[in-house]
Amino acid sequence: MRFLANENVEQPVVDALRVAGHDVSCVGEIGAGASDEEVLRLANAQQRLVLTNDKDFGELVYREGRAAEGVVLLRLAVQDGLEKARRVTEIIRALQGRLSGHFAIVTEEHVRLRPLRRP
């Protein structure tokens, strides 16, 4: 899968997804300080799903009606970067075919998928 990791996504998560074979671009590597709107615009232009810890993307896609290829919102309480990376990689693997076109909220207990308006 193709992801654009927001600046707030921990590097171990990015590294683990890359090792698992995913194409992960990072906002911090290509445009540090980009606004959420710019991140969403870039992700759509590159046909990537946004990977983030930032709830504001829900506001953009639902309240403001912005289109998105997909958003994966990480709401995991685990603080250890390697453990979080392991969990995120497992979840992405399990849901791989269903993430595109959805807003996925990933918590400790479950993953909730809601359809999005596509670009």
Domains: count for the chain: 1
SS3 116: coil
**Single-letter code of the amino acid located at 92:** I
CATH code, domain carrying 48: 3.40.50
Give me the percent of the chain exceeding a pLDDT of 90: 79
Q: Please report the pLDDT score of residue 109 as a whole number.
A: 87
Task: For 25-81, write each residue's pLDDT tens digit.
Answer: 999 887 778 899 999 999 999 999 999 999 999 999 998 999 999 999 999 988 888
- The residue segments making up the domain with residue 46 are 2-115
* Residue 44 · residue 67 · CB < 8 Å: yes
pTM over 0.95: no
